[in-house]
Structure 1
């Protein structure tokens, strides 16, 4: 049954990533890949909430955490976009992208974790 929850969540997460990333990229043209940044930051926050609520290992954790957010966020695309920025000689954009991705991602995951823990207490 766990595989089914993960598959359902993964399908929905992948479609959501495509839609939101495409929308953000078209709506907010930028020197950094804002679509990927948006999905990865929002995914960091949401996974923090799920983990903070203690849902890891439950059907909800499998559906939303492993499935949805596993497919919604994208480490591989993030890395390829970093390489593209390097090859294009856009060092300033690369540093901004890396700083926001890692710094804000960690901060949002932490905030989500605290919020999730507060929601169950």
Structure 2
């Protein structure tokens, strides 16, 4: 189980790197869109997974995919650091948008994932 957890975490981190890079290549500006996309997507996946585990899927799925993959994929610490960098540069509106966007959109995405799991 430990090996699966570690592998899933590594895959999550690699996926984060790929998604963040792809988004940054297509979207310029002050806001760190790549981090936002990663966190919203990861929150949706974790909400979906949580809903499936609550409905009876094995707890091993929660550990490997939730803790491993989603833990390696999402990066709320980077979102916090990005927000501080924006604020220190004087881009207060962008900092507030980044902070609020990450908070609101990730919660909505997790709720959507839970809801979708309930329908399955």
TM over 0.5: yes
Structure 1 residue 57: deviation in Å? 6.5
- For 2:16, the equivalent position in structure 1 comes to 17
Q: Is the 8 A contact 2:80 2:99 kept in 1?
A: no
Query: In structure 2, the residue corresponding to 1:68 is in which secondary structure?
Result: helix
Q: What CA RMSD, in Å, does the superposition of the two structures yield over aligned residues? A: 1.4
Query: In structure 2, the residue corresponding to 1:54 is in which secondary structure?
Result: helix
Q: Deviations over 1:10-55 (max 9, x none)?
A: 0100000001101101111122000100000000111000001116
Stretch deviating more after TM superposition (48-57 or 4-13): 48-57
Unaligned runs of 5+ in 1: none
Distance in structure 1 (CA, Å) of the matches to 2:83 and 2:64: 29
Unaligned runs of 5+ in 2: none
- For 1:40, the equivalent position in structure 2 comes to 39
Query: In structure 2, the residue corresponding to 1:53 is in which secondary structure?
Result: helix
TM-score by length of 1: 0.91
Structure 1 residue 6: deviation in Å? 1.1
Distance in structure 2 (CA, Å) of the matches to 1:75 and 1:96: 15
Q: Is the 8 A contact 1:86 1:94 kept in 2?
A: yes
1:65 equivalenced with 2:98 (yes/no): no
